[in-house]
Amino acid sequence: MEAASAIADPVRREILLLVRESPRTAGEIADHFPISRPAISRHLRVLRECGLVHAEATGRQRVYVLDPAPLVELADWIAQFLHQDAWSQRLDALETEVHRTRRARERAPKPPRSEENSA
């Protein structure tokens, strides 16, 4: 559940989105934010400590890569609140769609009947 506290910060969530797209160096990450590089380093440390990113040494640079595994535990925990009423929500959506379809059919202009079909 450390992931929950880590993603509570909007800067860290944005960092995760960046490294999801592709691995990035700390400098590349910092370029996306109007905050100092030391502040970005602190955010990266939090993300590393909870296991959401890991750093791979490439020459003199560290390249940060997303590791979504800790999010799976968090997603599973959140899912218990979302799936409780899933069937009810789906049936409500189906009912709404049925009513829309009926209204659309009632309001649609009727095609003229041809003489051939009436004989």
What is residue 23's three-state secondary structure?
coil
pLDDT beyond 70 at 19: yes
Strand order in the sheet with 53-58: 24-25, 61-66, 53-58
Contact 63, 25 (CB under 8 A): yes
C-alpha span between 49 and 14 (Å, rounded): 17
Report field, pTM of the whole predicted structure over 0.75: no
Residue 53's SS3 state is strand
Q: 38-71: per-residue pLDDT in tens? A: 999 999 999 999 999 999 998 899 999 999 999 9
- pLDDT at residue 87 in the model: 72
Q: Which residue has the tokens 């890991």?
A: 54
* Token pair listed for 111: 């095609």
Chain segment 86-107, per-residue pLDDT in tens: 677 778 888 899 988 888 888 8
